[in-house]
Amino acid sequence: MAKLKIDDHPTAKLARQRQVTRNGQRLEAEWLRQVARDCGADDVGLVEFDRPALANEREEIRSRYPWTKTLLSFVLKMSREPIRSLQ
């Protein structure tokens, strides 16, 4: 059985043909950060995909999300009590 590549999927083809927009405008970093905060993130960061520090990760990310230009990272605080060890 032939393995389907994401590049051949109709949705991926359509996504590559258009720019990601909000109301016809390109996404702004601060708007995207605020969306993440509104969804519960305690901290949010954006990093350009071509940053040299990401060289080891780039091929794997590109294989799954070929249209990647920016990475979004978010942090959620967690309660320490449930993970404390009794030892």
The pLDDT value recorded for residue 67 is 81
**Helix ranges (DSSP H) in the chain:** 10-17, 29-38, 55-64
Q: Is residue 63 part of a domain?
A: yes
- To which residue do tokens 């359509």 refer? 14
Domain count, the chain: 1
What pTM was estimated for this model as a whole? 0.60
Instruction: Work out the number of other CB atoms within 10 angstroms of the CB of residue 36.
Output: 18
Q: Is residue 66 part of a domain?
A: yes
Residues contacting residue 27 through CB under 8 Å, at least 6 positions apart: 20, 21
Q: What range defines the domain where residue 49 resides?
A: 28-78
pLDDT tens digits for the chain (87 residues)?
667 677 777 777 776 666 556 666 777 889 889 989 999 999 999 999 999 999 999 999 999 888 888 999 999 988 777 777 666
Q: Is residue 9 part of a domain?
A: no
